[in-house]
Structure 1
Amino acid sequence: MYTLLFFILATLTIAKDLWSSIPVTNYSNIIRETYLLGNGKLGAMPFGAPGEEKIVLNIDSLWAGGPFSANNYTGGNPTDERYPHLPKIREWIFQNTTGNVTQLLGNGDNYGTYQVMGNLSISHNVSVNPTSYERRLNLTSGVYYTKYSDLAGSKYTTAVFCSYPDQVCIYHLSSSATLPDISIKLENQLVNDTLIQSSCGDGYVRLRGITQVGPPDGMRYEGMARVTRSSSLSLKCCERQPGTLIVLSTSGQRSVTVVVGAGTNYDQTKGNARDDFSFRGEDPETYIQNIAQGAASRDFQDLHDSHIADYQTLAGTFTLELPDPRDSSKEETSLLFDRYRSSQGDPFVESLLFDYSRHLLISSSRQNSLPANLQGRWNSELDAAWSADYHANINIQMNYWGAEQTGLGDIQDGLWRYMQDTWVTRGSETARLLYGAPGWVTHSEMNIFGHTGMKNDAQWANYPASAAWMMQHVADHFAYSQDVAWLLTAGYPLLKGVVQFWLSQLQEDGYWNDGTLVVNPCNSPEHGPTTFGCTHYQQVLHQMFANALTLGPIASESDFAFLQNISTSLDRLDKGLRFTSWGGLQEWKLPEEQMYDEENNTHRHLSQLWGWYPGVSLVSPSHHFLSGYTNVTIQDAVATSLYSRGTGNGPDANAGWAKVWRSACWARLNNTERAYFELRYAVEQNFVGNGLSMYSGKNPPFQIDANLGFSGAVLSMLVVDIEAVVSGQVRNVVLGPAIPKSWGRGMVKGLRLRGGGIVGFEWNNDGLVTTVANDVEGVRLLDKSGKALFGR
């Protein structure tokens, strides 16, 4: 087995890997050094010195808070109707241009936080040759390897991966000589002993915990580690160390495999009024025993091959190849990031981060899991930064920027189910209590327990446009997949409920009296006053209404009055496009002298540019939209706003996601120099030696949206695909709008287009497309100058 595994390792090292010759030994610094693994439900962070290896384990649903901490949990909603206050709030704002929504605010009581489950610890005595150690995450296979030698010359190799088919994480140790005795345990030293219990049994160790002692009972969670079946193994529980399993050394025994299953009693299908919003399911014990026993009944090679086949089905759908002029693939990953700051970019590092972005999305979001949260799936603490929740005013959306175009659209099934089971159910209550409205609504901060109310003060909490923004992802999924069955059962019902809400909330502008419909009250995400007609909202609703008019007939919408109401409202809707005196786009529909749209405000958000990217309401030439891609006036205003907003490193934050967003916006302007600068600047400022992005420069906390959004920015440099798919019409797609010269002679294949097409192409040393691999029905492929490349 050692020989086979070493051969696998040796053959995979020619691919893109993250690797290091130094083990991760400091737990407090783990998020800056480890390499991340997962299968959607489970997250894993391997660390530890040779012979003392550990794996931090996360479960997607392991949260403290919500109904598991309080019987009267309301999801942030008030217990009484607040919408009667709205008329006076709106009247005041129209009269005075700004106001407040204090009477609508809910609370963040028992909001909770994402928590770490614990560590799988595997130890054996070994005297390591210090020059022999290497750890490596292979992005072709999704497998993490270490190798080292002892002073006697015996060679050791470990392999760690989290299997989606088997729903377990797997640790495999092999040696060129007989293995020493090995101890295995599951532990969590951060949790009080009254809340957690470790035990050992026949071939397994188990960790059971509860987030609080009732009433009400906290969330129950469990992990079980089992040694796979092998006739030559001798196992016993250690009497001196309760909860520890010993694998006794047996002559000729050269490998051991441990599988870990974990879960909770959280059930998102119980987050509704019928089940009293309990989210409480069955004790996980039986489920964990079954999956752990099932996986342990198979040998390592079978588990390994099953994982590889599943992982490559997703990872292999898309290929980006960039040059490696510095031979960077042979250097340790941390050294590449150390050197990057003083360079003018490194195509190998950028392509490595692109592939890592896709790996992280595959690992943190699958069909049967919760969506990727603020930390994806990886957290080593009991109280995560910002609860590792779902911030829905850019962060959860950015997490999925790279999904559709790179063939990962189907892994979003968990995202749709999460919205249906937790946002819609409690969000319908929020719509009724706060707004007296039909349909459903959510705000900016959400947990896994349907927290859809306003959590705190207005600048953060008053963001009812979050669900409307997510409807862009719903519309995009259909645009790329053309899956009518999904649209009928999942996509369109989500969309219709949000549209119903907003149709009931639009107000005729009572300040400018220009006959337009605006949102009142609104707050631009995390910025500025409570006012009316916020540009961001108007652009988001503009696109959502236009999408609803397109998708309604496809979904066999029979309520023609509903469609007519959308059409009439869209015609009157303020489109969110007006210009400042200094040439940028206004963020608010307010008089210039109020100075909320001051020049050189470097706020991290680009809310007034939503319709440019990631939306298309400003840029697309399609019906209802504003044709910004060919309109010099709009282009100049977008560019002016981007220059004014700065590079994404201002007094309010030095965050990677802000730079990635700026890069994507510049790419859509066909501005290669600025798009590439912002991409490089994000890497320089925010990405540390293991390829993860920190929130505050290179300092923790870790926040994954820049990692996942990185692929979206790169894709914007590769393609502009913004026109709606209309049957019988040929639409334009631009290839290579902002490819830097340093990426010369690169190629891409498997790039998805709206309408279901797939394209691949190559480019020359100047970043100009030279070869297109395939034609696409109904699409005219253009280069950045507008010249036709290939197509009908």
Structure 2
Amino acid sequence: MEIEGADEVVIILVAATNFKNYKDVSANAAQRVAAYLKSIEHRSYEAIKADHIKEHKALFGRVELELPTTAQSFLPTNERIQKVHEGADPSFAALGYQFGRYIMMGSSRPGTQASNLQGIWNNDQNPWWDSKYTTNINTQMNYWNVDAGNLSECSQPLFDLIREVSDQGKQVAKEHYGVNEGWVFHQNTDIWRVAAPMDGSNWGAFTTGGAWLCTHIWEHFLYTRDTAFLRKNYALLKGNVQFFLKFLVKDPVHGWLVTNPSTSPENVPGSPGNTRFFDEMNGAYYNGSQICYGSTIDEQILTDLFGYMAQATEVLKIDTSFKKQVLKARAALAPMQIGKDGTLQEWIEDWPQTEKNHRHFSHLYGLYPGHVISPLRTPELIDPVKKVLEQRGDGASGWSRVWKMCEWARLFDGNRANKIFKGYIQEQCTKSLFGKCYAAMQVDASFGLEAAVNEMLVQSHEGFIQLLPALPDEWKADGSFSGVITRGAFELNFQWQEGRVSTLKVVSKAGMPFTIKFDHVPTVLCNGKTVRITEVGNGLYRFETKRMGNYEIN
């Protein structure tokens, strides 16, 4: 290409494939390319750029997070990474939070594919783990904060993935497990929506990968209160629950309902010869180095999913008899147990750890992102959970570290979460805010960091809203968070000074009752008029809201 006598050159590149969906590749790529070019044929660079900025701001500008700044806050990102341990730099966490939102906007939009291990930033022909969807935590982590970060529409590709993978999941349920109802999905899939177990047994046999994905359907409903969305996706929830109602068996020792076979993702017990699963038909145990029955994470995920299923039937006012069946099974699931070393057991039997610092700590799903373990509801499990976190340590791969940040935030320890954040930034990031797993860049850590920061500043999973539940000492001076979404479909705008909330404004998007934890009785105004508040105990205060009502809490 030769260009002469020009003072500006604009080069536009377009591309397309023949891919329509996982079952249809009949599209005409050349026609698609022609259509793209036609749509911008007579448009100037300035006009295209202006549209891009307008569209970007419409999503990105929904949320603003300000944390205290220091001298380090104004250095280039690569220098901030190198100096993260040399002094306080709270606003670096705010940058990480917004980076997570930025890459969500860039890699997951309605009509596109869900964000995978490398998102759209993979630059290898043969990438690590094929740049697929790993669903024993990584894909889920990508979407932990999509609703709270006020980017709900960006979750649509995830729900498309779940719907599509359930198709082959029905075949796998029948052919692999002999279950003729519902669907099952394991630990890995790709654009072709494979659902069968694959690769090594200690990760491939993860039967609750689809169940974990289904919890995102309920969480999205909690953040949006979109009944039409719940009704549309109800069959996915029900189908996965139906599979497990047929798949679960009674363990021969206690009579608990357990998954069988089962695995605790990617970890192996310390005595492999004792790891076993129960063959119900033959009435015998079989040894396997990774396979077991009733792993703790399986039972926790199903406890959540069965509970969500029951609540969904109540919201939609359907399937009353099915709800009773589900709750009966939920009550029979294996309970969590404490091992002889004082840690929460990872397996149904008290096996030791082969690798005490293993990057996965799947049995802590119940604390985060799950809702099975809670300092308020299950205080007896908190010390065993902390002992697991101490055993695993603050290190490991990028996604593992930010998951630990989320766990410590749920335990209200912001200083520990902040300490892990600094280690993650210095050891798992290089010149950018993308984290690593081994030597591979992955996007999950960047999304997980966003979730962890959000959890340190706002929590709403206990049925009420708590502000600054895990605020690190370094972040206390002053800050603000606007546009963040909580369960109940509330949009918050609040500020704090010296660790105490100074102003709070709320938009009620669905007209749900608003419950918040405060250390004193607040005053609530709507359009200048005082709103009646009810004290419900334990520092909780509640008031009724109207849809799209604006409230100021003093």
Q: Same fold (TM over 0.5)?
A: yes
Please, what TM-score do these two structures have when normalized by structure 2?
0.86
CA contact (8 A) 2:72 2:80 kept: no
Larger Rg: 1
Determine whether 1:753 maps to 2:486. Answer: yes
Tell me the distance in 2 between the aligned counterparts of 1:464 and 1:379: 28
Aligned to 1:770: 502
Cα distance in structure 2, aligned partners of 1:463 and 1:407: 31
Corresponding residue for residue 434 of structure 1 = 176
For residue 585 of structure 1, report the CA deviation from its aligned partner. Answer: 0.7
Task: Name the CA distance, whole Å, in 2 between partners of 1:351 and 1:470.
Answer: 28
Among 251, 254, 265, which residue is 2:18 paired with? 265
- Distance (Å, rounded) in 1 between the aligned partners of 2:341 and 2:175: 42
Provide the residue aligned with 2:138 in structure 1.
395
How far apart are 1:787 and its partner, in Å? 4.5
8 Å Cα contact 2:227/2:316 also seen in 1:
yes
Which of residues 209, 215, 229 is equivalent to 1:472? 215
Equivalent residue letter for 1:507: V
Among 773, 780, 790, the residue aligned to 2:515: 780
Q: 1:719 deviation in Å?
A: 1.6
Q: What corresponds to 2:291 in structure 1? A: 530
1:585 alignment partner in structure 2: 344
Aligned to 1:646: 393
Offset, 1:501: 0.8
Partner secondary structure for residue 337 of structure 2: coil
Instruction: Write the deviation string for residues 76-130 of structure 1: whole angstroms up to 9, x where unpaired.
Output: xxxxxxxxxxxxxxxxxxxxxxxxxxxxxxxxxxxxxxxxxxxxxxxxxxxxxxx
SS in 1 for 2:515: strand
CA distance in 2 between counterparts of 1:751 and 1:546 reads 26
Which residue matches 2:442?
A: 703
Q: How does 1:34-53 map to 2 (within 5 A)?
A: none
Aligned residue type for 1:324: T
Cα separation, 1, equivalents of 2:507 and 2:149:
18
**Other-structure match for 1:605:** 360
Pair 1:450-2:190 in alignment: no
Matched residue, 1:519: 259
- Using the alignment, how far apart are the partners of 1:450 and 1:788 within structure 2? 45
Amino acid at match of 2:313: G
Distance in 1 (CA, whole Å) between partners of 2:389 and 2:518 is: 24
Opposite residue 339 of structure 1, the aligned amino acid is K
Q: State whether residues 258 and 296 of structure 1, in contact with CA within 8 Å, keep that contact through their aligned partners in structure 2.
A: no
Paired with 1:407 and 1:487, the residues of 2 have a C-alpha distance of 19
Does the aligned pair in 1 maintain the 2:434–2:446 contact within 8 Å?
yes
Cα distance in 2, alignment partners of residues 301 and 565 from structure 1: 61
Question: What percentage of aligned pairs have identical amino acids?
Answer: 28
What is the TM-score of this pair, normalised by structure 1? 0.61
Q: Is the 8 A contact 1:259 1:295 kept in 2?
A: no
User: Is 1:337 equivalent to 2:81 in the alignment?
Assistant: yes
Letter in 2 for 1:315: F
User: Which has a greater percent of strand?
Assistant: 1
Residues 790 and 759 of structure 1, relative CA distance in 2, 3 Å threshold? farther
Paired position in structure 2 for 1:679: 421
Q: Quick check: which one's helix share is greater?
A: 2
2:303 corresponds to 1:542: yes
Instruction: Check the 8 A contact 1:670/1:784 in 2, yes or no.
Output: no
Distance 1:455 1:516 in 2: 28
Map of 1:189 onto structure 2: none
Per-residue CA deviation, residues 673-714 of structure 1 (Å, 9 max, x unaligned), is: 211111221112101112221222xxx311111011110011
The one of 92, 95, 104 aligned to 1:361: 104
3-state DSSP of counterpart to 2:121: coil
Distance in 2 separating the partners of 1:640 and 1:454: 32
Superposed CA deviations along residues 274-327 of structure 1, whole A, max 9, x for unmatched, are xxxxx4221311011111231232112221121112111111121111121115
Rounded to whole Å, the distance in 1 between the matches of 2:91 and 2:331 is 48
Contact 1:462 1:523 in 2 (8 A): yes
Question: In structure 2, what is the equivalent of residue 657 of structure 1?
Answer: 399
1:692 counterpart residue number: 434
Per the alignment, residue 379 of structure 2 pairs with 632
1:617 aligned residue: 372
Shift of 1:522: 0.2
Give per-residue Cα distances to partners, 1:593-641, cap 9 Å, x unaligned. Answer: xx3357x81111121110100111222xxxxxxxx43543222221121
Partner of 2:276: none
Of the three residues 420, 441, 452, the one matched with 1:713 is 452
Q: How much has 1:718 moved relative to structure 2?
A: 0.9
Partner secondary structure for residue 761 of structure 1: strand
What is the deviation of 1:526?
A: 0.6
Distance 1:709 1:539, change over 3 A: same
Determine if contact 2:515/2:540 at 8 Å carries over to the other structure: yes
| Inter-partner Cα distance in structure 2 for 1:617 and 1:788 | 21
Which residue matches 1:144?
A: none
Q: 1:473 to 1:266 in 2, by over 3 A?
A: same
Q: What is residue 28 of structure 2 aligned with on the other side?
A: 283
Counterpart amino acid of residue 7 in structure 2: R
1:344 shift after superposition: 4.5
Preserved contact between residue 441 and residue 498 of structure 1 (Cα < 8 Å): yes
Structure 1: runs of 5+ lacking an equivalent: 1-244, 272-278, 620-627, 650-654, 724-730
CA distance in 1, matches of 2:542, 2:398: 36
* CA distance, structure 2, for counterparts of residue 496 and residue 715 of structure 1: 30
1:573 aligned residue: 333
- Distance in 1, matches of 2:131 and 2:338, equals 37
1:141-540 equivalences in 2 (<5 Å): 245-246=1-2, 248-250=3-5, 253-268=6-21, 271=23, 279-326=24-71, 328-329=73-74, 331-340=75-84, 342-421=85-164, 423-437=165-179, 438-489=181-232, 491-510=233-252, 512=253, 514-528=254-268, 529-540=290-301
| Count of matched residue pairs | 501
| 8 Å CA contact 1:345, 1:680 repeated in 2 | no
Structure-2 change in CA distance of 1:383 and 1:789 (3 Å): same
Deviation at 1:383, TM superposition (A): 0.6
Instruction: Indicate the residue corresponding to 1:112 in structure 2.
Output: none
Q: 1:367 to 1:646 in 2, by over 3 A?
A: same
Cα distance in structure 2, aligned partners of 1:327 and 1:336: 6
Q: CA deviation at 1:249?
A: 2.7
* 1:644 positional shift: 1.3
Which has the higher mean CA deviation after the structures are superposed, 297-306 or 382-391? 297-306
Residue 560 (structure 1) shift: 3.8
| 8 Å Cα contact 1:374/1:396 also seen in 2 | yes
**What amino acid does structure 1 have at the position aligned with 2:458?**
V
**SS of equivalent residue, structure 2 residue 83:** helix
1:520 and 1:294 map into 2 onto residues whose CA distance is: 54
Contact 2:459 2:486 in 1 (8 A): no
Cα deviation for residue 450 of structure 1 reads 1.8
Q: Per-residue deviation at 1:770?
A: 3.1
Does the residue aligned with 2:400 lie in a helix, a strand or coil?
Answer: helix
Per-residue displacement from partner, 1:17-68 (whole Å, max 9, x unpaired)?
Answer: xxxxxxxxxxxxxxxxxxxxxxxxxxxxxxxxxxxxxxxxxxxxxxxxxxxx
- After TM superposition, the structure 1 = structure 2 runs for residues 98-137 of structure 1, keeping only pairs within 5 Å, are none
